[in-house]
Amino acid sequence: MIDLLKIQGMANHQDFAGVGVAVPDSLQIFRVSKLKEMGANAWRTAHNPPNPALLDATDRLGFLVWDENHLLDDSPPYEADLRSMLLRDRNHPSIIMWSLCNEVLCNGEGTDKARQVGTVLKGIIREYDTRPVTAAMNGGWGSGLSFVVDVQGINYNIGQYDSYHNSHSTQPMIGSETGSTVSDRGVYANDAKAAYVSAYDVNYPSWANTAEQAWPAIHSRAFMSGSFTWTGFDYKGEPTPYAWPNINSHFGVIDIAGFPKDNFYYYQVNFRNLTNQLHLFPHWNWNTGDKVDVWAYSNTASAELFVNGNTQGKKTMPSEGHVAWTVNYAPGSIECRGYASSGTQVVTQTISTTGSPVAIQLSLELGQNGLVADGQDVAMVRVALVDSKGTVVPTAGNLINFSVTGPGKLIGVGSGDPSNHQSDKATFRNAWKGLIRAIVQSEQQPGEIVFEASGTGFPTAKISIPSKANNSPPPLF
C-alpha cells in the first residue's frame, strides 16, 4: 500500500526583514525551519526561480518544493531562462513540480495561445526532467493551460474544486494558492488610520478565504493533493487592504521579521497532528472593563476558559476550527483548559497581565552553535522586552539601540510592523508588540562576536556568538 502525503505548503516571496532580497544563504535555513516548526512540508517559489541556497535548505531539511518559472513566454530569452532554471535546479531532490507560471504571468492562461506556448515550454522541461508540470491558474480551468499541465493548479476559488474534479477525474489537482487571511501580529482590532488588521482569522480580500475556510476545503477532499497558503511570511509590497503608510503585506502566517502570528498556531494544530495542542489568544493587557474576544485553537474535544479563576463556560472544539468567548477584562490572568472526549483535562495554557518592560532579553533562533567565519553566515537574534518576571510585554514599543564588537557586523533589523519606516540598515529599532529582530553576520576572521542591546531605562543586554574557522560545513542551527 502506498502512503499518501497531503501537501501542506506555503507560498513565499524571496525577501526578509533587514536584508530585502539579498538574503544570506544561511538565513534560508531559518525560514524553512520556521515553516517546518509550524507543520508545513512544502514551499512554493513565488513567482520566479528561487535562490539556490533555498533549495539547499529544503534538501537538507526534508521540505518539498514547487519550483516556478517566471513568465509563460516561448521567445528565445524566456526559453533560455527556463533552460537555465532546469539545469541549475534539477538535481535537487526536494523539487516535486515545475510550474510554468502564475496568474497574469501566464499570459491568458485559458486561451489557445497559452496552450501553444505552454506546450513548447513543457517540451523543454521534458528534455531535462520527468517531474510533473503545473501552473498556478486563476481562471480558464478546463481550457488553455489545463490541456498542458500534469497537475491542475487552482488559485483560490474553492468552489471550483468539485466541479473541475467531476469533469476531469483522472487529472491530479492542487490548491496552488489558497487562504490569504490578512493579519498583524499582536493586533486585535482593525485600525484603518494606522493601517493594521487584527490577528483574528476574520479578514480577507474578496477573492480569498480565511485559514479556517481554505484548509478544510483541501483536507476534506482526497482528490486534492494539497495546497500552498498565501503566504508563509509577510513581504515588501502588496499591503492589502491598506496602502501607505504600510510598506509590506499582511498575508503572512509569520511576519516579515520571522515572528509567528496567531494563525501560525491554527496551522500547527491542524498540520502537525500532535496530541493535545492548544493555543490561546490574545494577550491579557487591556483597559479595565474592555470587552475582549478570546479564541483558542486546539485538537482537544472541548475547551473551557477561566478569567481570574472564574469559568466562562466549556465549549465543544469544532474540527479544524476554533472556540471563542467574549469576556470583560480585569487584570490578572486567563486560563484555557483542553479536555479529551472522556472529559479528562489534558492540556492548559495561561496568559497573565504583564508589568512594564524592565529588561531586554536576547536569544538566538539561528546560530546557536556558532557561526562560520566566512563573511556570510548569520545569526538571528530575537530581542524581547520583558517585565520583572521575564514575560514578553505584548504592548511594548520602546526604542532599542544595537552594537556589535568582534569579528561580526549587524546587517539588518526589523520588527514585523508593516507601518514602520525606520531603516532596515539602522543600528536602532522600535519594538513591535515587544519584539525586534536583529541579523548579525560573521566576518572572515574567527573569534567572539558580542551583540549588545540598550535603551532608556533598560540595563544593557549582551549575547556572545562564537565564530569559527571556515574548515567545516556550517551548522544546521
Instruction: Convert the pLDDT of each residue in 465-475 to its tens digit.
Output: 999 998 655 55
Q: Diameter of the chain by CA atoms? A: 70
Q: Give the pTM.
A: 0.96
Contacts of 373 (CB under 8 A, 6+ apart): 407, 442, 443, 444, 445, 446, 447, 467, 468, 469, 470
Q: What is the mean pLDDT of residues 212-235?
A: 98
State the cell numbers at 415.
520588527
Q: DSSP per residue over 276-343, as a string? A: T-EEEES-S---TT-EEEEEEEESSSEEEEEETTEEEEEEE--TTS-EEEEEE--SSEEEEEEE-TTS
Q: What is the pLDDT of residues 266-279, one digit of tens each?
A: 999 999 989 999 99
| CB contact at 8 A, 324 and 294 | yes
Instruction: Quote the pLDDT of residue 303.
Output: 98
pLDDT classification of 4: cutoffs 50, 70, 90: confident
How far is 59 from 95, CA to CA, in rounded Å? 9
Instruction: Give the integer Cα–Cα distance in Å for 18 and 15.
Output: 9
Q: What are phi and psi of 166, to 5 degrees?
A: -60, -30
Listed residue (183, 224, 225) closest to 202, CA to CA: 183
Quote the pLDDT of residue 273.
84
CATH 2.60.40.10 in the chain is located at 284-352, 359-468
Instruction: Give me the mean pLDDT over the 282-305 stretch.
Output: 97
Q: Compute the mean pLDDT over every residue in the chain, rounded to the nearest whole number.
A: 96
- With vertex at residue 121, the alpha carbon angle to CA 118 and CA 127, rounded to the nearest 5 degrees, is 140
CATH 1.10.3720.10: does it fit domain 284-352?
A: no
The residue count of the chain comes to: 477
pLDDT at residue number 471:
66
CA 334 from chain center: how many Å? 27
Q: What is the pLDDT of residues 35-47, one digit of tens each?
A: 999 999 999 999 9
Active site residues: 103, 177
Burial category of 365 from C-beta neighbours within 10 Å (exposed 0-12, middle 13-18, buried 19 and up):
middle
C-alpha pair distances (Å), 304 with each of 77, 190, 458? 61, 27, 38
Axis-axis angle for helices 76-89, 52-61 (nearest 10): 30
Is residue 350 very low, low, confident or very high in pLDDT (cuts 50, 70, 90)? very high
Do residues 35 and 57 touch, judged by C-beta distance below 8 A? no
- Classified as helix, coil or strand, 171 is coil
pLDDT tens figures, 398-440: 999 999 999 999 999 999 999 999 999 999 999 999 999 999 9
The cell numbers describing 87, all together, are: 539545469
Give the rounded percent of residues in the chain with a pLDDT score beyond 70: 98
CATH architecture, domain defined by 7-272: Alpha-Beta Barrel (3.20)
Conformation bin of residue 212: beta by default, left when phi > 0, alpha when psi is -120 to 50? alpha
For residue 171, is pLDDT > 60? yes
pLDDT category at 69 given cuts 50, 70, 90 is very high
Quick one: average pLDDT of 20-30? 97
What is the pLDDT at residue 476? 54
Within its chain, how far is the Cα of 65 from the centroid? Answer: 15
Q: Where in the chain is the domain with CATH 3.20.20.80?
A: 7-272
Class assignment of domain 359-468? mainly beta
Which candidate, 196, 195, 202, 157, places its Cα nearest to that of 181?
Answer: 202
Predicted pLDDT of residue 325:
98
pLDDT at 2: 59
